[in-house]
């Protein structure tokens, strides 16, 4: 069921309707605000009505693990023309078990094709490639499926969000310090609002079909520099120590080994690449880490 926004009645438009998945996440919550401000026709896919009401925009309740609810979310064929494809990332699973995000996003692609969707804008990951570690490999597998689906597509491959340092996903704050396995590698973290702005351009216009974009911030920072800007201390934990702690907590050996590989890649500068993709799509420079802090870490 599609639920109207508080501002007035709403329903699927006859055409040019956008369906936003991952609408309550770091990117999605900013994207729905931007689309509303631009008077775009869109609906957010959420797992509960409470989540939809909190967003304050048109929404439909559905679940990636329920194919019937996905089909209902798209509505009659041709009503939804564009899809923002975004789900939660990699999670600890038994060794040899596929990441759930692969099954979920492939089901969404199938539902989109059956519903007559014209364009899918996929939120992916930096360096996505089949056979890669954790989210990198999972996104690579999904991208390949999307490319072969017959649908028009665009990929957005951010490498990490500034918002992670507000939600806790970017590391652990313990006793007033940023603590994690970071090394001295630099990371070009991007403000999720800039990724949302890029997605809005691709969802509402004709640009970017068949293209891959890598939105980054304008600077690559070490985590020691980030800790200083956050007003925190800094403690770098050796990978072996962090891995032993995760194994002691019961995480699968394969999952931990993949994490160690990703940590070591980051420490070697694998996430330091800077691009001009945010500016190319939005017409303005990406926000700096200091801009994000000054804006209250939204």
Per-residue model confidence as pLDDT tens digits over 89-127? 999 999 999 999 999 999 999 999 999 999 999 999 999
Bigger pLDDT: 159 or 12? 159
Confidence of residue 181 (pLDDT cuts 50, 70, 90): very high
Strand partners for 19? 43, 83
Residues 257, 125, 57, 110, Cα dihedral to 10°: -90
Record the tokens describing residue 20, joined without a space. Answer: 């936003």
- Which pLDDT belongs to residue 167? 77
Q: Output the pTM of the full model.
A: 0.93
- Asked if pLDDT for residue 43 goes beyond 90, the answer is yes
Output phi, psi for 271, to 5 deg.
-115, 25
Reference 279, options 212, 229, 213; nearest CA is 213
Residue in this structure with the two tokens 């089949």, named with its chain if needed: 130
- Asked if pLDDT for residue 189 goes beyond 80, the answer is yes
Percentage of the chain exceeding pLDDT 90: 89
Reference 192, options 220, 221, 216, 168; nearest CA is 216
Q: Residues near 57 by Cβ (< 8 Å), separated by ≥ 6?
A: 5, 32, 36, 42, 44
Beta carbons of 149 and 83 less than 8 angstroms apart: no
The whole-chain average pLDDT of the chain stands at: 92
- Which pLDDT belongs to residue 174? 85
Output phi, psi for 69, to 5 deg.
-70, -30
pLDDT tens column, 210-239:
999 999 999 999 999 999 999 999 999 999
Rounded Cα gap, residues 154 and 205, in angstroms = 12
- Alpha-carbon separation of residue 212 from 103, 112, 276, 298 (angstroms): 22, 20, 13, 26
| N- to C-terminal Cα separation, the chain | 30
Q: What is the DSSP letter of 14?
A: S
Confidence of residue 170 (pLDDT cuts 50, 70, 90): low
Confidence of residue 16 (pLDDT cuts 50, 70, 90): confident
Rounded Cα gap, residues 74 and 263, in angstroms = 39
Tell me what the mean pLDDT of segment 25-43 comes to.
Answer: 97
- Asked if pLDDT for residue 1 goes beyond 50, the answer is no
Rounded Cα gap, residues 238 and 137, in angstroms = 24
Question: Is residue 72 classed as helix, strand or coil in its secondary structure?
Answer: helix
- Asked if pLDDT for residue 166 goes beyond 90, the answer is no
The H or E element containing residue 248 is helix 239-248
Residue in this structure with the two tokens 């041709």, named with its chain if needed: 78
């Amino acid at each position: 069921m599609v639920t109207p926004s508080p501002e007035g009645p709403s329903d699927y438009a006859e055409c040019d309707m956008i369906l936003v998945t991952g609408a309550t996440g770091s990117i999605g919550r900013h994207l729905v605000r931007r689309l509303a401000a631009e008077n775009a026709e869109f609906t957010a896919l959420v797992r509960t009505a409470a989540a939809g009401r909190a967003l304050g925009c048109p929404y439909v309740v559905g679940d990636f693990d329920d194919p019937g609810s996905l089909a209902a979310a798209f509505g009659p064929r041709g009503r939804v023309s564009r899809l923002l494809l975004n789900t939660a990332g990699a999670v600890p699973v038994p060794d040899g078990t596929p990441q759930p995000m692969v099954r979920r996003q492939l089901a969404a692609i199938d539902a989109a094709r059956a519903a007559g969707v014209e364009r899918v804008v996929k939120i992916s990951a930096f360096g996505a490639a089949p056979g890669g570690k954790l989210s990198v490999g999972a996104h690579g597998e999904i991208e390949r499926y999307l490319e072969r689906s017959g649908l028009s597509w665009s990929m957005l491959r951010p490498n990490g969000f500034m918002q992670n340092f507000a939600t806790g996903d970017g590391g652990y704050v313990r006793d007033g310090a940023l603590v994690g396995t970071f090394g001295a590698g630099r990371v070009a973290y991007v403000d999720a609002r800039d990724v949302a702005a890029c997605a809005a351009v691709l969802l509402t216009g004709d640009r970017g079909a068949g293209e891959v974009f890598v939105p980054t911030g304008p600077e690559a920072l070490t985590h020691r520099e980030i800790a200083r800007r956050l007003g925190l201390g800094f403690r770098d934990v050796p990978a072996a120590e962090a891995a032993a702690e995760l194994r002691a907590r019961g995480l699968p050996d394969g999952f931990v080994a993949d994490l160690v590989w990703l940590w070591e890649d980051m420490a070697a500068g694998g996430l330091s690449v800077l691009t001009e993709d945010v500016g190319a799509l939005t017409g303005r420079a990406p926000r700096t880490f200091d801009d994000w802090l000054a804006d209250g870490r939204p």
